[in-house]
Amino acid sequence: MTGRLSIVGLGPGAPGLMAPDAQAALAQATDILGYQPYVARIPARPGLRLHPSDNREELDRARHAIALAQGGARVVVVSSGDPGVFAMAAAVFEALESVPTAEPPRIEVIPGITAMLAAAARCGAPLGHDFCAINLSDNLKPAGVIAHRIRHAALGGFAMGFYNPRSPARPDGFARALAVLRETCEPERIVIFARAVSTPEEAITVTTLAEAREDMADMRTVVLIGNPQTRRVGGWTYTPRSWAGA
């Protein structure tokens, strides 16, 4: 018997921001795997086995999930936000590639609302024009690549979303990101710190590059950088859909 492996995005936090298909996969699951705080968001019920693990164990977790599904289980691997954004979906396919199996399980990827889009919606429409997402963690790529991408995104006029901006293990990466932005962007550039969006601890700060400080970000914050035309209207922040001069 071949089971099923669903790779599910839980959204940014609020239950109402989770897709009905994600809720259905969770309701049918026999086994749930994921980083411990995300698995903790799933209520226990009889017949459901929870397998929380550390956040550095993504490939092992993915291999475990594949093996359980091959054994006939209905497995759900959970990520916060969207599972394809700096999360478990790519890890599962990497595991599949590195351990070719006779019969791969049925796999489905169920999308979720990623942090930068949830944060943007809270503020108005700061990502109304072209934008990109950059993971500031240097666990899986060199710091030089991060600086290069930020510089070129800024030169290209993109708005940006920074994930994993700052953690106790990586106290300096976000300061370096701000330094790169200060070389390429004007001091008035809008910077948004969106922490724990859609949870009871939500806190949003809209400021400028001149006023932004590294201690305004932590592991639960996504940082949005506007494009040169991002502006405020009333209490809202938005980026016009047309590029000035177009």
Please, what is the minimum distance in Å from the beta carbon of residue 139 to ligand SAH?
11
Residue 221 or 230 with smaller CB distance to ligand SAH? 221
Among 133, 135, 86, 83, CA closest to 112? 83
Distance CA 178, CA 121 (A): 23
Residues 125 to 164 in contact with ligand SAH, rule: CB under 6 A: 163-164
Q: Is 197 in the site for ligand SAH (CB under 6 A)?
A: yes
Stretch that binds ligand SAH, among 42-50, 77-85, 101-109, 150-158 (CB under 6 A): 77-85
CA distance 137 to 47: 37
**How is 91-136 classified by DSSP, letter by letter?**
HHHHHHHHS--SSPPEEEEE----HHHHHHHHHEETTSS-EEEEE-
HSE, CB side, 13 Å, CA atoms: give it for residue 136.
Answer: 30
Binding string, 20-59, against ligand SAH, x = CB under 6 A?
A: ----------------------------------------
Only one of the segments 46-54, 82-90, 185-193, 235-243 lies at the binding site for ligand SAH (rule: CB under 6 A); that segment is: 82-90
| Count of positions on this chain that bind ligand SAH (CB under 6 A) | 25
